[in-house]
Structure formats: C-alpha cells, structure tokens
Amino acid sequence: MLTIYNSLTRTKEPLTPIVPGKIQLYVCGMTVYDYAHVGHARVMVVFDTVVRYLRARGFDVTYVRNITDIDDKIIKRAAENDESVDTLTERFIRAMREDEVALGLGAPDAEPRATRHLAEIIAMIEALVGRGYAYPAPNGDVYYRVRKFGHYGALSGKSIDELRVGARVEVGEAKEDPLDFALWKAAKPGEPAWHSPWGPGRPGWHIECSAMSTACLGEHFDIHGGGMDLKFPHHENEIAQSEGATGHKFVNLWMHVGFVRVNEEKMSKSLGNFFTIREVLKQYSAEELRYFILASHYRSPLDYTDENLKNARAALTGFYLALREAPAGGDVDPAAAERFYSAMDDDFNTPKAIAELAGLATALNRARQEGRHEEATELGATLRGLGAMIGLLRDSPEDYLKGAPATRGGLDDEAIQAMIDRRTAARKNRDWAESDRIRDELKRLGVILEDSAQGTTWRRG
C-alpha cells in the first residue's frame, strides 16, 4: 500500500484516489520574474519523480503545475527593468521551459497561467462575498475574513491568537481585521488591471491557485504539493478560500518539499544566496543534479554543496560502470522490484530506493566477475528498469561515462582519442615513459583510461 505523509494531518496516510485508478495532482509552480534556482529544481524534480513512479505503478495521473504571471514581485521587477509585465513574464517562462528541458523533466498535463483565468478568479471571489467569507472594502480591495473560517491554521499549526500577535494593517489597506488578506487589489497608477465587479484591479496571489486548481481538477482532488515555504500563508489561504467558496473539502493530501540550504540558510532570491539551474548545469549533468536531489528524502532539508554534487557524480559513475559491462536484455527480478517498491511506497523514500539500486549494482558486478552471465543480465535489466522509474540511469553507459566537456573537463572526444592513439603507438614502441606521461596528462585533465585485452577505453573522472 502506498502511503504519503499528509502535511495537514501530520501522519502518513494511504493513497486512496477519489476516482479509483486516477490521481489528480496540483503543484504550485514558479512566479516568473527571474531564473529558476536549485530550490525550484528540487520541487520540479520531486514531483516529476512522484508522477513517474505513480504512472509506473499503473495510476492514471493528471499533473497540473501553474505559472504565476501576475503578482507584486513581477510588477516590481518589470518597473525596475523599465519593461512591460508581459515582456518580463514571457522571457522567464521561456527560460523556465528551457531549464525543464535541460533537466529532462516530463511536461505537466496542464500549465495554467493566472492571467488566463481571471473569469474563474472573479467568480470565486464573488462566491466568497456571497457566502460572507469576503467583503469589498471602500478602497476597492476585496478581503477574506480569516476569522470566519473555523479551521484556519490547521495546515500550519498556527492559532488565530498566535497569528493576531504581530499582524499589521499596511498603509492604504482597509481591512476589518489585521489577519484578513487580499483577494482582489484595486488598480494603482501604472499597474496592470482588469475589470471586475469591484472596479479595475488584479487578483491577490493566493486566490490565483485556488481558482486555477479547481478550474483544472475540480473542487475536490487528490494531492496538492509545493515547497515548504508555501505551507503558510499561501496553502493555508488556499484551503480557506476554496472550502469557503465550495462548502466542502478541497484536497485529500498535502505534500511539501523541504528547503534547499546554503550554509544552513534557506536558498532564496530574497536572501541572494541562490544558484540558478542553468549555472549548476554548466558544471554538473542534469542526472547528477537529479541524483543529488533524490539522495535525500523530499521532506528533509537539502544542503547544497559542491561536495554533495561530486558525491552524486561518483555514485552515478559507479552505477554506469556496472551497467557498461552488463549484457543487454533480461527481465526485472520480482524480489528486487518488491524491495524497491516497498521503499517508494513509503512516502516516496528515494534514499532507500537508491540504496536498493546500489545493492543491485554490487550484485551485478559480482555476478559478472564470477561468470554468472544469466544472472548478470537479469540484474542489469532490473537496475535499468527500476532506476528509470525515478528518472535515473536512462543514459547509455558510454554517453554518461564520456560525459560532456562542459561539465567534465575541457577536452572534447576527438582530442581525447588522439591522445589515446598516441599512447597506443608509444606502447607498441615500448616507450613506457611516453605512455605513462600521456596517461597522467589525461588523468590530470579528468579523463580515466582503462586498459583491457580488447583495447583502451576511457571515461571522464
């Protein structure tokens, strides 16, 4: 039985689809005003892995991930750049999709944009006003009455009284209560605006996801996910809005991905301590970044360091060395598969699943060395098949081990082969000093040579 840790109930719960065999999943995506960083990559990779695994286990998954293309940060950045909001957001949507392709991620089934769901947003606000959960203010804003929603704080574990301490009404706001939050913001000079029953303005950030998720998946769906930083207030507010508007349960299971940390601080744009996906992919392959992310449980903090990424490279090198010599073909070993499924079925425990893969690689090396070819064939097929279920070990061993010069060293394949040819000639002439010099030079440049009776092969170290 597959269980998932539900952030709302703080317990692991069985995944029981609303419609048998079908899973509806909504994930809060990017606010597109800058390049995606490793924190965003973690959320993308985690839910890409969740979707891959659920589909591999036979579920019909509908995966929706939104784009926030209008909010305060976007408006501020566009003004700083002296460009339109549309120009800014289109540029960074293109960049986000380039990063997704570079990471080898599967595309969501739907990718709603806030500015294309204004009708649904306005309709939901009207429903909240009609049910007494929201009120138009004299300044043209519309606010949500937090105290009206009896379960507010259930997701974050915060009490109304705790939240009341420190709550403030900013200049220009017209709230009944400092805890209330904006559903609709009246237009300000120079800002994008849309018509509404309350005058020209734009939606608040929180209502966007409530409207987009229900527009794509209905008023009640299976799983809602996102980064840990969204638990409060964003997801707390989504629950209040959605359930206030419909009168029934919004989501069955809430999944939250832990922070990526740099020097024990959360990686974020506001702190200025972030590394963009495209910067990281200049030094490490997409699979190495994916392995680095999956080597820790998705709910745990993840420390971003070069050492941890190098460890990911070393681990993947070991897997691909095992697979390079494995015979092609074979069937997946049912016993090994069950151990792997057991790990993944326990709240997507990828570190334990990877440990099972490592055990298979060790067994594969032993079987091959001992001449048990049939067993090696089955173990190789099992390692490839199970790894692919979480998006790993999909490259050919040669492609991975030779790697890309951009991430593994400056020499291209032709230059390496030319040096190997010179070394081969030196060995034929019994010029061992020159042979060793070339081997050492290649090693210094990150290229490892492996001699065998069949000749010399190479890989990037």
Per-residue pLDDT in tens (0 to 9) along the chain, 461 residues: 999 999 999 999 999 999 999 999 999 999 999 999 999 999 999 999 999 999 999 999 999 999 999 999 999 999 999 999 999 999 999 999 999 999 999 999 999 999 999 999 999 999 999 999 999 999 999 999 999 999 999 999 999 888 876 677 676 788 999 999 999 999 999 999 999 999 999 999 999 999 999 999 999 999 999 999 999 999 999 999 999 999 999 999 999 999 999 877 776 766 677 799 999 999 999 999 999 999 999 999 999 999 999 999 999 999 999 999 887 788 899 999 999 999 999 999 999 999 999 999 999 999 999 999 999 999 999 999 999 999 999 999 988 988 865 555 567 778 888 888 889 888 888 889 888 898 888 888 778 888 877 778 888 77
Task: Looking at the structure, tell me whether residues 69 and 218 fall in a common domain.
Answer: yes
Q: Is residue 101 part of a domain?
A: yes
Q: Give the structural domain span for 45.
A: 3-266
Domain CATH for 87: 3.40.50.620
What is the rounded CA–CA span in Å between residue 345 and residue 42? 20
Instruction: List, in sequence order, every beta strand (DSSP E) within 214-345.
Output: 221-227, 251-257, 260-262, 265-266, 302-303
Q: Is residue 132 part of a domain?
A: yes
According to the model, what pLDDT value does residue 104 have?
A: 95
Domain CATH for 324: 1.20.120.640
3-state DSSP assignment of residue 447 = strand
Take residue 304 and report the two structure tokens written for it: 């971003």
Binding site annotation covers 83?
no
Q: Is residue 130 part of a domain?
A: yes
Using alpha carbons, list the distances in angstroms from residue 314 to 26, 291, 421.
34, 11, 27
Residue 69's Cα: distance from chain center in Å?
19
| pTM of the model as a whole | 0.89
Task: Looking at the structure, tell me whether residues 84 and 43 fall in a common domain.
Answer: yes
3-state DSSP assignment of residue 211 = helix
| Final residue of a structural domain among 358, 377, 402 | 402
Task: Looking at the structure, tell me whether residues 258 and 376 fall in a common domain.
Answer: no
Q: Is residue 274 part of a domain?
A: no
- 104-149: per-residue pLDDT in tens? 999 999 999 999 999 999 999 999 999 999 999 999 999 999 999 9
Task: Looking at the structure, tell me whether residues 227 and 294 fall in a common domain.
Answer: no
Instruction: List, in sequence order, every beta strand (DSSP E) within 3-59.
Output: 3-6, 11-14, 22-27
Phi, psi of 348 (to 5 degrees): 55, 55
Task: Looking at the structure, tell me whether residues 39 and 136 fall in a common domain.
Answer: yes
What is the rounded CA–CA span in Å between residue 87 and residue 303? 34
Task: Looking at the structure, tell me whether residues 374 and 324 fall in a common domain.
Answer: yes
Binding site annotation covers 216?
no
Binding site annotation covers 249?
no
Task: Looking at the structure, tell me whether residues 245 and 388 fall in a common domain.
Answer: no
Task: Looking at the structure, tell me whether residues 175 and 305 fall in a common domain.
Answer: no
According to the model, what pLDDT value does residue 172 have?
A: 74
Task: Looking at the structure, tell me whether residues 204 and 64 fall in a common domain.
Answer: yes
Q: Is residue 272 part of a domain?
A: no
Binding site annotation covers 238?
yes
Task: Looking at the structure, tell me whether residues 430 and 382 fall in a common domain.
Answer: no
Which helix or strand (DSSP H or E) is residue 317 part of?
A: helix 306-324
| Final residue of a structural domain among 357, 376, 402 | 402
Task: Looking at the structure, tell me whether residues 161 and 250 fall in a common domain.
Answer: yes
Number of domains observed in the structure of the chain = 3
Task: Looking at the structure, tell me whether residues 137 and 18 fall in a common domain.
Answer: yes
What is the rounded CA–CA span in Å between residue 450 and residue 200? 69
According to the model, what pLDDT value does residue 286 have?
A: 96
Q: Is residue 277 part of a domain?
A: no
Q: Is residue 182 part of a domain?
A: yes
| Final residue of a structural domain among 266, 296, 318 | 266
According to the model, what pLDDT value does residue 407 have?
A: 55
What is the rounded CA–CA span in Å between residue 441 and residue 198? 72
Binding site annotation covers 231?
no
